[in-house]
A and B are shown apart, each in its own frame.
Chain A
Amino acid sequence: MPVQVKLPTILRKHAGGEQKVTADGATLRDVLGDLEKRYPGITKNVVSEDGGLHRFINVYLNDEDVRYLGSLETEVGEGDTVSILPAVAGG
């Protein structure tokens, strides 16, 4: 199922500068997998080597942190928006 993925500035370079892209999947893991297929390298700092979510980048399904849903197994559906949000420290 296609969902919209909002990319933070630091990941846009992987997607030709796009701020929003589309990816397919029934779960967040599938969506991120599809995203990686479309834009190689884009999920390197989102998904850790052991297949979990990194703790310095948050992923939201609509307005909810997926850590409080089902993490990577969170089900997604049409019309959902996945937002990737890194910690930033600038001031």
Chain B
Amino acid sequence: MSDRKFTEDEVQRYARHIILPNVGGAGQRKLLDSSALIIGAGGLGSPIAMYLAAAGVGRIGIVDFDAVDVSNLQRQILHTNADVGRSKVDSALEHLRAINPTIEVVGHDTLLFSTNVFEVMEPYDVIIDGTDNFPVRYLVNDATQFLGKPLVYGSIYQFEGQATVFMPGQETPCYRCLFPTPPPPGTVPSCAEGGVFGVLPGVIGSIQATEAIKLLTGEGETLEGRLLLYDALDMSFQEVKIRWDADCPVCGKEPTITELIDYEQFCGVPARPQ
């Protein structure tokens, strides 16, 4: 265990964690000594980043390549009206530093590809998926499996959300076990096409932040092996099992994908310019 001494500011800042059973001084030290990478500073990434920063995760990385658009502000609460037109990473870092100036926040203003994903992920303990497209979701899954890092998954559509935790290692399910193939293009509209209920990513992102903090402190029972489903319209939660697929091309008994690939072709979408 870390023998880090809390500063006076830290004792005050994290007082409600330090007195909390299951976190305590030991758990707070683990958070301060840990790191998390958040992929996407959008609807899911906003609450994830804000809660992890507030909780004192010592180093938080934010990956995004986009600029803040006024249509994002209905749900992407990390950004403000004054940030419209600015890079999401710049806006995110500034607001996270305003929430907690005592932690380190790192921006990765880039798209993720098979060529850079290892380098971006390597320095982080936990990877949190808040991206908005299938090619990156499959890429992030494969990379976390190959690097042996836990992946906190969340995804939303209109009024419904899904969340779980994928652990690396043998006989534990990955995203490819859950959804072996992406839907054909055109069958699932994006948020831009289908709309999204503004509070929905707040609920799912907060669940992802919860799971990340539990992974980093080693407390509680995560969603590993369970897919949590949320429906905002009838305010219901449901859980279904996620099984390891022995035939999974990534983590099965005889994997056929043993190195990173770019998934645009598999997902039937045009390749992104590198």
Chain A residues with CB under 8 Å of chain B are 6, 8-10, 19, 45, 55-58, 60, 63-65, 67-68, 83, 85-91
Q: In the complex the two chains form, is B240's CB within 8 Å of A55's CB?
A: no
Bound together, the chains give a CA A25 to CA B190 distance in angstroms of: 34
Q: In the complex the two chains form, is A87's CB within 8 Å of B42's CB?
A: no
Q: In the complex the two chains form, is B190's CB within 8 Å of A89's CB?
A: yes
Distance from B38 Cβ to chain A, minimum over Cβ atoms (Å): 10
Determine which of A45, A64, A83, A90 lies in contact with B187 in the assembled complex, contact meaning CB atoms within 8 Å. Answer: A45
Bound together, the chains give a CA A17 to CA B190 distance in angstroms of: 20
> What residues of B have a CB within 8 angstroms of the CB of A86 in the complex?
183, 187-188
> What residues of B have a CB within 8 angstroms of the CB of A19 in the complex?
231, 233-234
Q: In the complex the two chains form, is A89's CB within 8 Å of B188's CB?
A: yes
Q: In the complex the two chains form, is B132's CB within 8 Å of A90's CB?
A: yes
User: Which residue, A55, A56, A67, A83, has most C-beta atoms of chain B within 10 A?
Assistant: A56
Determine which of A55, A85, A91 lies in contact with B132 in the assembled complex, contact meaning CB atoms within 8 Å. Answer: A91
> What residues of A have a CB within 8 angstroms of the CB of B144 in the complex?
none
Q: Mark B134-147, 1 if CB is under 8 A from A, else 0.
A: 10010000000000
The 10 closest A-B pairs by CB, nearest first: A88-B157, A91-B132, A56-B183, A87-B179, A90-B156, A55-B180, A55-B181, A91-B44, A90-B191, A91-B130
> What residues of A have a CB within 8 angstroms of the CB of B234 in the complex?
19
Q: In the complex the two chains form, is A63's CB within 8 Å of B241's CB?
A: yes
Q: In the complex the two chains form, is B229's CB within 8 Å of A56's CB?
A: no
* Interface majority SS (helix, strand, loop, mixed), chain A: mixed
Determine which of B160, B187, B201, B243 lies in contact with A9 in the assembled complex, contact meaning CB atoms within 8 Å. Answer: B160
Q: B199 on the interface (CB 8 Å rule)?
A: no
> What residues of B have a CB within 8 angstroms of the CB of A89 in the complex?
131-134, 137, 155, 157, 182, 188, 190
Q: In the complex the two chains form, is A65's CB within 8 Å of B241's CB?
A: yes
Looking across the interface, which residue of chain A has its beta carbon closest to that of B154? A91
Q: In the complex the two chains form, is A65's CB within 8 Å of B240's CB?
A: yes
Bound together, the chains give a CA A65 to CA B227 distance in angstroms of: 11
> What residues of B have a CB within 8 angstroms of the CB of A58 in the complex?
178-179, 240
Looking across the interface, which residue of chain A has its beta carbon closest to that of B181? A55
Distance from A82 Cβ to chain B, minimum over Cβ atoms (Å): 11
Determine which of B137, B160, B178, B239 lies in contact with A8 in the assembled complex, contact meaning CB atoms within 8 Å. Answer: B160
Distance from A69 Cβ to chain B, minimum over Cβ atoms (Å): 11
Bound together, the chains give a CA A76 to CA B246 distance in angstroms of: 25
Bound together, the chains give a CA A55 to CA B175 distance in angstroms of: 13
